[in-house]
Amino acid sequence: MYLFLYYIAGYRKKVVLQNLRRSFPNMSDKEIYQLCRAFYHYFCDLFLETFKTLTITKKNMLRHCYINDASQQLMQKLFKEHKSLVLVMGHFGNWEWGGNTFAISLQHQLYVIYHPLQNRHFDALTYKMRSRFGSKLLAMQDTFRKMLSYKNEATTTAFIADQTPPPENAYWMQFLNQETPVYKGTEVIAKKMKYPVVYTSINRIKRGYYEMNIEMLCEHPENTREGEITEMHTRRLEQDILRQPEIWLWSHKRWKHKKNVMI
């Protein structure tokens, strides 16, 4: 797959190289191409790992992706306190496996925000992969209404917050050396619901194996200033990317919008 995607099809190679060059301006061309190839190797693994979700057993899921002890203790404490949470993360590591591991390992009911796909067959396949171990999916446009409807449950609602929002509705900040628009929805909903915000990293230990780390990011979002939570989770993701850059989704057109230019 790697040979085909990288050398023959060149899938989004221009996008990946442009993103890497702008994010790491001090890297040499040689270093950029090394990182680019490392990303494509990982991207191929991610593709196959994701489809393995359709058949993997719970036992093997937890062997290949586990939640560390400190994170388990934090989540158990919050569940005993009957606290619902907003969980925020990025396209870093195997986020699909992370959702499954969370659903198997922890007591909170996990709700995952997603964009329904136009192709109903692929949408059904995606839904099956993500809900197989008990996670429930929420279409983005229904998020707040649905969260209100299960307010009395102890739930965790997961937001993948590094996608590209419409520029006119975004919070703009520096991220990976570039002026970047960030979705404000995670922060807005956490404040409205007064739910603590936890950040999740899915760190690659070795090929095919991941460790999830869940940490408290903001316990009382209603007391924060505008943009504070957005900056906190974006900075935290940036730290993860700088530590292990090859496992972030560089093929995404993250910077297709420019500030003050409505595309």
The closest of 97, 87, 88, 48 to 205, measured between CA atoms, is: 97
Q: pLDDT tens digits for 79-91?
A: 999 999 999 999 9
The closest of 252, 207, 241, 248 to 11, measured between CA atoms, is: 252
Q: Where are the domains of the chain?
A: 64-245
Kindly report each contact of residues 164-168 with a partner whose C-beta sits within 8 Å and lies 24 or more positions away, as own/partner: 164/252, 164/253, 164/254, 164/255, 164/256, 164/257, 166/257, 167/257, 167/258, 167/259, 167/261, 167/262, 167/263, 168/262
Q: pLDDT tens digits for 34-76?
A: 999 999 999 999 999 999 999 999 999 999 999 999 999 999 9
pLDDT for res 261: 52
Q: Which secondary structure element, helix H or strand E, spans residue 248, and what is its range?
A: none
Could you tell me if 34 and 41 are in contact, meaning their C-beta atoms sit under 8 angstroms apart? no
The closest of 198, 165, 197 to 181, measured between CA atoms, is: 165
> What is the fold, at CATH topology level, of the domain defined by 64-245?
Glycerol-3-phosphate (1)-acyltransferase (3.40.1130)
pLDDT for res 262: 47
Q: pLDDT tens digits for 212-243?
A: 999 999 999 999 999 999 999 999 999 999 99
pLDDT for res 182: 97
Vertex 140: Cα angle to 39 and 122 (nearest 5): 60
Question: Percentage of the chain surpassing pLDDT 70?
Answer: 99
Kindly report each contact of residues 67-70 with a partner whose C-beta sits within 8 Å and lies 24 or more positions away, as own/partner: 67/101, 67/102, 67/105, 67/106, 67/211, 67/212, 67/214, 68/211, 68/212, 68/213, 70/213
Beta bridge partners of 114: 139
**What DSSP designation does 207 have?**
T
The position carrying tokens 């796909």 is 117
Q: pLDDT tens digits for 7-41?
A: 999 999 999 999 999 999 999 999 999 999 999 99
pTM: 0.93
pLDDT for res 114: 85
Dihedral angle over CA of 88, 247, 174, 85, nearest 10 = 10
